């Protein structure tokens, strides 16, 4: 077996934690049970570039149960759980290339090793595999059956590729399923982002001014959870619609140059670059804590902060927290998890019960792609509505929640257009 992981000796711990996560992933487990009998993924070689977590391990086990061959690598240099990588190799026989804290060169060499294996399906989280495949290995595109993409950031990149006529094979935008972004992005990011900041700093949120940059699903989740813990939340936006939504949801909305003066904790979740930059660092209070929960580490301009602090102006003050001294008064600005995804760098990512839905969408989307092999165009496809609804139904049932069904009269009423005011 080929693999590159930190320590195979961590495999037993990893197995225990993967089993623990599985106990909250009923929907995925029911899919795995069916896949074991039907083997709908036979013939697929899946390159899975995902955060190597306990939840991902359960997805990979499901894909393997479905008859697919799987190779895995990390989708972020800081998100790998080394014990999970070890159990994937030791107990699941899944060739894994991921080490927590790997440098950028190792990160890309791991992706290359997975691509050297000539997969025919990509399962991406951030589109790094798809873009590397298209940029460096156009000759391999003809081998590809299809792909899936997990994140908002990745889907934006894929749609740009499609618009430019550059996309070489069909990809399902798993992120855009309702049972993914309405729950994973909102409740998952909301909770795990604060979890990461709290684990790293032990800061009390009650009474603090928390500035949330971006009011998409992720920003909504972070803002509402921070408010729930007693913080005064300020939202910043560049889009008038979510800005208005934030105002009506009861948050203060400010431009960042004003929020920068007030914030105790800043959290970026925009998907764009340089959201916190030099002009803002110059305004911040000493002790301000900065964290990013967007996919890439570009939202906080760390190079500018490093330059501002100068040589000797940066030191690690706790695991996962770097202090940068800024200005003549040496104001201390704290950056959590190097400005990379704080929820996965400093905590364990989203809890299993929400990843259950995201990864059920992944597994069922790959099955749909296998069923439709050869019939699809090189486009970005939505997750079929039936899959989205099935995931919602299965999740409700696993939670023991029952809902009503339409009566015949109600169904007819919804389908008619002649009935108006009585």
Binding footprint of ligand ADE on the chain (CB under 6 A):
50-51, 53, 55-56, 188, 344, 349-350, 355
Q: For the CB of residue 139, give the shortest distance to ligand ADE in the complex, in Å.
A: 31
Which one-letter DSSP state was computed for residue 298?
Answer: T
Geometric angle at alpha carbon 354, from 82 and 21, rounded to 5°: 40
Helix H or strand E encompassing 234? strand 232-236
Q: Which residues contact 158 (CB under 8 A, 6 or more apart)?
A: 127, 130, 149, 167, 171, 173, 380
CA distance 157 to 357: 23
Q: Which residues contact 275 (CB under 8 A, 6 or more apart)?
A: 213, 214, 236, 256, 268, 299, 300
Closest CB to ligand ADE among residues 150, 367: 150
Q: For the CB of residue 333, give the shortest distance to ligand ADE in the complex, in Å.
A: 26
Q: What are phi and psi of 307, to 5 degrees?
A: -65, -40
Q: For the CB of residue 326, give the shortest distance to ligand ADE in the complex, in Å.
A: 31
**255 neighbors 230 (Cβ within 8 angstroms):** no
> What are all long-range contacts of 310-313, with beta carbons under 8 Å and residues at least 24 apart?
none
Q: For the CB of residue 387, give the shortest distance to ligand ADE in the complex, in Å.
A: 19
Q: For the CB of residue 313, give the shortest distance to ligand ADE in the complex, in Å.
A: 32
Closest CB to ligand ADE among residues 122, 232: 122
Q: For the CB of residue 52, give the shortest distance to ligand ADE in the complex, in Å.
A: 8
Closest CB to ligand ADE among residues 40, 345: 345
Closest CB to ligand ADE among residues 56, 201: 56
Sheet holding 265-268, edge to edge: 252-253, 232-236, 209-213, 265-268, 288-292, 331-336, 321-326, 314-318
Which residue number places its CB atom closest to ligand ADE? Answer: 349
Q: For the CB of residue 350, give the shortest distance to ligand ADE in the complex, in Å.
A: 4
Closest CB to ligand ADE among residues 192, 232: 192
Closest CB to ligand ADE among residues 60, 146: 60
CA distance 153 to 293: 12
| Helix, strand, coil share (%) of the chain residues, nearest 5 | 50, 15, 35
Q: For the CB of residue 120, give the shortest distance to ligand ADE in the complex, in Å.
A: 23
Helix H or strand E encompassing 345? helix 342-345
Closest CB to ligand ADE among residues 56, 232: 56
Closest CB to ligand ADE among residues 218, 394: 218
Residue 270 CB-half CA count within 13 A: 23
**39 neighbors 62 (Cβ within 8 angstroms):** no
Q: For the CB of residue 352, give the shortest distance to ligand ADE in the complex, in Å.
A: 7
Closest CB to ligand ADE among residues 24, 232: 24
Q: What are phi and psi of 91, to 5 degrees?
A: -105, -25
């Amino acid at each position: 077996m080929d693999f590159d992981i930190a320590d195979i000796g961590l495999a037993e711990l990893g197995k225990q934690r993967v089993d623990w996560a599985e106990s909250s992933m009923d929907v995925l487990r029911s899919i795995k049970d069916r896949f074991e009998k039907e083997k709908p993924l036979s013939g697929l070689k899946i390159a899975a570039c995902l955060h190597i977590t306990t939840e991902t391990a359960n997805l990979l086990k499901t894909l393997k149960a479905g008859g697919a061959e799987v190779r895995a690598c990390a989708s972020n240099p800081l998100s790998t759980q080394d014990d999970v990588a070890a159990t994937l190799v030791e107990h699941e026989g899944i060739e894994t290339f991921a080490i927590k804290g790997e440098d950028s060169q190792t990160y890309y060499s791991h992706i290359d090793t997975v691509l050297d294996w000539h997969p025919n399906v990509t399962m991406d989280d951030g589109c790094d595999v798809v873009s590397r495949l298209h940029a460096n290995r156009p000759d391999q595109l003809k081998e590809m059956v299809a792909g899936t993409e997990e994140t908002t950031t990745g889907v934006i990149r894929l749609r740009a590729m499609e618009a430019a006529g550059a996309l070489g094979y069909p990809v399902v935008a798993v992120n855009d399923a309702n049972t993914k972004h309405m729950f994973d992005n909102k409740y998952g990011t909301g909770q795990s982002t604060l979890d990461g900041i709290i684990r790293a700093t032990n800061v009390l949120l009650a009474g603090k001014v928390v500035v949330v940059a971006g009011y998409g699903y992720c920003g909504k989740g972070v803002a509402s959870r921070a408010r729930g813990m007693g913080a005064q939340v300020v939202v910043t936006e560049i889009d008038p619609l979510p800005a208005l939504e934030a105002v009506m949801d009861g948050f203060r909305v400010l431009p960042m140059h004003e929020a920068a003066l007030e914030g105790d904790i800043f959290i970026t979740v925009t998907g764009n670059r340089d959201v916190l930059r030099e002009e803002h660092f110059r305004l911040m209070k000493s002790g301000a804590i900065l964290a990013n929960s967007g996919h890439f580490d570009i939202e906080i301009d760390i190079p500018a902060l490093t330059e501002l602090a100068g040589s000797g102006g940066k030191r690690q003050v706790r695991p996962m927290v770097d202090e940068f001294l800024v200005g003549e008064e040496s104001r201390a600005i704290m950056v959590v998890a190097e400005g990379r995804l704080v929820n996965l760098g400093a905590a364990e990512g989203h809890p299993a019960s929400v990843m259950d839905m995201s990864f059920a969408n992944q597994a069922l989307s790959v099955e749909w792609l296998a069923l439709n092999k050869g019939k699809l165009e090189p486009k970005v496809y939505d997750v079929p509505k039936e899959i989205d609804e099935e995931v919602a139904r299965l999740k409700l049932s696993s939670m023991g929640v029952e809902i009503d069904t339409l009566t015949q009269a109600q169904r007819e009423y919804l389908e008619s257009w002649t009935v108006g005011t009585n």
